[in-house]
């Protein structure tokens, strides 16, 4: 196998080794952040993300302790009082091609009045769309990517009352939950690194000082547009924003892997993490199959259908036919690379990304 995503794997692997179950989440977060590298039209915006995970499951570790601390020149510290008036007091440099992270947006918003929340969301609605915002004598111009964490429990309880639809539509909502078995695995991995000498992985993102042009072949747009309509029909984001989001994603991954033209493997990577956009659970057969193929690909190996079935059945106790059905669907939807291989009693498929 020859992967066209090696640079992506190099960024994701240390995170997934430290945070159990974060391989798909890390891809979605990091590639969307790297949309800061691409040249975009003046009427479009970079890909910002709302990361919705269970409370205490690692949002702060990923966003602050790993990504922000590894890339301080790109991830500025934001004001403790997260009000529109306070944001406008920040130096101009913090608005110039930077990544803004908040690990718990619900907690931040709950400390504001209704008017303050509306002003804050008004700032992001305007700045993320137009690249500028002004009120009274204060005016800011620039380009940012926002990654805001939300505890699933709090978002479910307060989200609809707290956030305007025009605000959330400017973000991709990535939601992931963990089943009981995976919670045990998370705790087991944490138990092995309780030694104070254990260090968090350092993940230096290849953010560029200047934006890069990337070509997208017209042959890829029918599938891009199909996915955009799907995201729109599932109320994830409006269809035009969805098209822009997908194109930005595949361009960012192409740049990351040293390409100036998007190839089909870049689009396959988006389709690999697509379940997160609808809300995914770690214990599902679909997610376990995707993780198995991804893990082998990060180790530069193809994996057979039999190996996937054995692994997934051992992890979650499902039946073989369910795994076969998921693999068949991934092949038919062109989510992964595969080839037919002969066996003594018939044939199997090898899979890779």
State the DSSP string of 28-92. HHHHHHGGGGB---TT----EEEEEE-TTSSHHIIIIIIIIHH-TTTSPPPPSS--HHHHTTS-G
Distances from the Cα of 200 to the Cα of 11, 53, 67, 119, 197, angstroms: 14, 20, 10, 36, 10
CB contact at 8 A, 147 and 99: yes
- According to the model, what pLDDT value does residue 91 have? 94
Sign for the CA dihedral angle at 252, 253, 258, 260 comes to negative
Pick from 148, 90, 96: which is nearest to 121 by CA? Answer: 148
**CB neighbourhood size of 197 (10 A):** 5
Distance of CA 141 to the CA centre of its chain: 26
Tell me how far apart the alpha carbons of residues 150 and 281 are, in angstroms, rounded to a whole number. 16
| Angle at 236 (CA atoms; ends 235, 237), nearest 5 degrees | 95
Instruction: Please give the structure tokens belonging to residue 348.
Output: 């199997």
Delineate the domains of the chain, giving CATH numbers in brackets. 6-280 (3.40.50.300), 299-352 (1.10.10)
pLDDT in tens, the chain (353 residues): 678 899 999 999 999 999 999 999 999 999 999 999 999 988 889 999 999 999 888 999 999 999 999 999 999 998 877 889 889 999 999 999 999 999 888 877 777 888 888 898 999 999 999 999 988 788 999 999 999 999 998 888 777 777 878 788 889 999 999 999 999 988 888 887 766 667 899 999 999 999 999 999 999 999 999 999 999 999 999 999 999 999 999 999 999 999 999 999 999 999 999 999 999 999 999 999 999 999 999 999 999 999 999 999 999 999 999 999 999 999 999 999 999 998 777 789 999 99
Instruction: Please give the structure tokens belonging to residue 246.
Output: 């997908």
Distances from the Cα of 333 to the Cα of 37, 226, 227, angstroms: 29, 12, 11
Tell me how far apart the alpha carbons of residues 127 and 7 are, in angstroms, rounded to a whole number. 31
Tell me how far apart the alpha carbons of residues 352 and 294 are, in angstroms, rounded to a whole number. 7
| pTM, to two decimals | 0.95
């Amino acid at each position: 196998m020859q992967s066209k995503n090696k640079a992506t794997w190099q960024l994701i692997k240390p995170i997934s080794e430290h945070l159990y179950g974060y391989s798909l989440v890390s891809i979605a977060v990091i590639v969307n952040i790297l949309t800061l590298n691409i040249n975009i039209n003046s009427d479009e915006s970079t890909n910002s993300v709302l990361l919705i995970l269970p409370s205490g499951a690692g949002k702060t570790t990923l966003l602050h302790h790993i990504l922000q601390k590894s890339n301080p020149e790109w991830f500025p510290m934001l004001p403790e009082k997260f009000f529109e008036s306070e944001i406008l007091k920040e130096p101009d440099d913090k608005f110039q091609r930077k990544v803004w992270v908040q690990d718990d947006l619900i907690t931040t918003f709950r400390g504001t009045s209704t008017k303050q929340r509306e002003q804050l969301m008004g700032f992001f609605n305007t700045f993320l769309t137009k690249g500028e915002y002004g009120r009274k004598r204060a005016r800011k111009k620039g380009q940012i990517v926002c990654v805001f964490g939300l505890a699933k429990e709090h978002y479910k309880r307060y989200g609809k009352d707290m956030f305007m639809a025009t605000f959330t539509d400017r973000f991709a909502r990535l939601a992931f939950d963990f089943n009981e078995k995976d919670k045990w695995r998370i705790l087991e991995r944490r138990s092995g690194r309780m030694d104070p000498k254990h260090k968090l992985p350092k993940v230096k993102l290849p953010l560029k000082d200047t934006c890069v042009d990337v070509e997208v072949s017209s042959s890829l747009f029918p599938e891009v547009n199909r996915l955009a309509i799907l995201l729109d029909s599932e109320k994830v984001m409006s269809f035009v924003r969805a098209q822009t989001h997908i194109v930005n994603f595949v361009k960012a991954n192409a740049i990351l892997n040293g390409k100036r033209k998007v190839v089909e493997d870049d689009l396959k990577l988006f389709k690999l993490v697509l379940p997160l956009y609808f809300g995914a659970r770690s214990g599902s057969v679909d997610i376990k199959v995707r993780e198995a193929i991804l893990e082998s690909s990060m180790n530069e190996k193809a994996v057979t259908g039999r190996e996937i079935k054995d692994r997934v059945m051992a992890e979650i106790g499902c039946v073989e036919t369910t795994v076969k059905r998921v693999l068949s669907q991934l092949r038919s939807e062109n989510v992964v690379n595969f080839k037919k291989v002969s066996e003594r009693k018939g044939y199997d498929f090898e899979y890779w990304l």
